[in-house]
Amino acid sequence: MIGIVDYSLGNIQNVKNALEKLEQEFILSSKKEDLMECDSIILPGVGHFGEAMHTIETLDIKEDLIELAETKRIIGICLGMQILFEYSTEGEVPGLGLIEGTVSRINTVYPVPHLGWNTLNSRYETLDQKDVYFIHSFMVTGSPYVIATADYGVEVPAVAQNKNIIGIQFHPEKSGDAGLEILRKAIKGGL
């Protein structure tokens, strides 16, 4: 069973559609007792880091998510990935602190947001040279846990993994078969 964290800032319908294509059972909830029953938990997200953390704190699920990460696989997608890290300059607020690193605005000669298809670079065959779909203005910096990047005038961290915590900056649910395969592997145990 997959749990999708419901905090009203995610691309939830797209994630549901992807899980249906992968023939995965799922629930949508922000209740710890529901998410405890799940094998993997997906933290989706679209929008502003500060607002997302405010919502998570208002729903009183920040500590629940940190506790669930001790025993469950947590997969953050787009803003959901960024929330897994320690701090963001978007709103100047701490995140969940599950992965070492900071989130900062993309500093590149190219237009921001980083929007559209880009190719992954990774030492992992399951990720390397996969074309995936990005839309984001902020990126992770200073993390030793990045396992895939994309070139956008700077090396943009695209995937990070620290044991059972996986962050995916691009939208696997919008990235065709390659994205679905990456999501399937993340759900099953890692990349």
For the annotated catalytic residues, the residue numbers are: 78, 171, 173
Which pair of structure tokens corresponds to residue 115? 């929007």
Cα(33)–Cα(78) distance, integer angstroms: 25
Angle at 149 between CA 118 and CA 19, to 5 degrees: 70
Question: Cα–chain-centroid distance for residue 167?
Answer: 4
Question: Cα–chain-centroid distance for residue 123?
Answer: 20
Q: Residues 9, 55: contact at Cβ < 8 Å?
A: yes
